[in-house]
Amino acid sequence: MTTHKRWLAAAAVALVALAAAGWWFARATPVHTVVLTERPVQRSLVVTGRVAPARESTLASTVTGRVVATPVAEGETVRAGAVLVALEPDESQAALAQAEAQLADARGQLADAHRQWQRQRALQAQGFLSPAALEAAERTYDAARRRVEQTEAAVQQARARRQQVAVRAPAEGVVLTRLVEVGDAVTAGKAVARFAWAGPARVLLDLDERDVARVAVGQTAAVRADAWPDAPLAARVQRIDTQVDGVRGTVEVELALADAAAGGVRLLPGMTVSAEVVTDAPQPRLLLPLSALRDGRVATVVAGRVRWVAVETDPAVDGWLPVRRGLAAGVEVIDPAPALDDGARVEVRR
């Protein structure tokens, strides 16, 4: 083959290659698109928290003594007045016995003074006793009567202190924690148990201080316990604390449950829960599929070619991004976001 023919053959091969390359780069890439529309969006906030009893008290002893019995176990439900912790009664029993003995003696002296006063009054009426002597008898009688009243009060006080050797449940409820054991020495004012009063359970949330402006009293919420994730409980924001926890940067929010036992759920004090608080009423928003966003941009289709557009969105709601800026209703965007350059040809397949 001559040199001229070889050059012609090489040129032909090059032309074919160029044509193939042109076809390859010019061919349209098939893509899937969605047309953006507005839909109602309800904003919410998910916050973790814990279950709290209707009311919680720390019970303390009012007397000094040694623990002799703890008849109620932690977690046990009790009636009002049930003995939770019993102290040794020796000292209070001795004080009561002494007060009762003093009362008996005072009553005996009062009876003697009353008889003496009656005799003196009879003698004075017959002219055998001076008025001064009768007045002295009356003073003795009055003093004996006052002593009886004082000792009766002392007996009542001793009986009350005798009752105080037992720390009792202030109402129907549950013993959360027992803080003493048999044999422990207890002083007056020492805490002996934590007690949860019977009543509707509450939910206490630890709300990030940055989200305080989004939550208001009266907003609805759905509460889920880890043990019953598929049984949400209806609740409502009842209280927002006025102080921020300086260490954790949180604000306590209290939810009131509509029915803490709905769906077979059994909430226990201290149980961890999550609450989805509805922070805004449903509003129409332009929604973008989360998968269509890449590095703050979306690929739109204009005249069969890719055009990347920068957008601003709010946090995702169920896999959709509410659009703030950059797009309008009716715009066609590629979903999922493609690995194509701006201007690349595409073939839309819906």
Complete domains list, the chain, with CATH? 28-42+283-348 (2.40.420.20), 56-89+167-197 (2.40.50.100), 90-163 (1.10.287)
According to DSSP, the β-strands at 29-31 and 346-348 are parallel
**What pLDDT sits at residue 21?**
41
C-alpha span between 222 and 203 (Å, rounded): 11
**What pLDDT sits at residue 58?**
94
**What pLDDT sits at residue 2?**
59
Is residue 16 within 8 Å of 238, Cβ to Cβ?
no
**What pLDDT sits at residue 268?**
82
- For 95, phi then psi, to 5°, come to -65, -40
**What pLDDT sits at residue 23?**
42
Angle between helices 90-125 and 131-163 (to 10 degrees): 160
Rg (CA), the chain: 43
C-alpha span between 165 and 67 (Å, rounded): 9
C-alpha span between 250 and 257 (Å, rounded): 22
Q: List pLDDT tens digits, range 65-107.
A: 888 889 999 989 999 999 999 887 656 566 666 766 776 877 8
C-alpha span between 213 and 218 (Å, rounded): 14
Is residue 92 within 8 Å of 61, Cβ to Cβ?
no
C-alpha span between 65 and 112 (Å, rounded): 40
Phi-psi group of 296: left, alpha or beta (phi > 0 → left; psi -120 to 50 → alpha; rest → beta)? left
What six digits make up the tokens of 3?
């040199």
Decide: helix, strand or coil at residue 270. coil
According to DSSP, the β-strands at 33-35 and 332-334 are antiparallel
Is residue 196 within 8 Å of 176, Cβ to Cβ?
yes
Burial of 48 (0-12, 13-18, 19+ CB in 10 A): exposed
* pTM score, whole prediction: 0.54
Q: How many CA atoms lie within 13 A of 315 on its CB side?
A: 5
| pLDDT lower than 70: segments of the chain | 1-27, 89-97, 99-100, 103, 155, 158-164, 260-263, 350
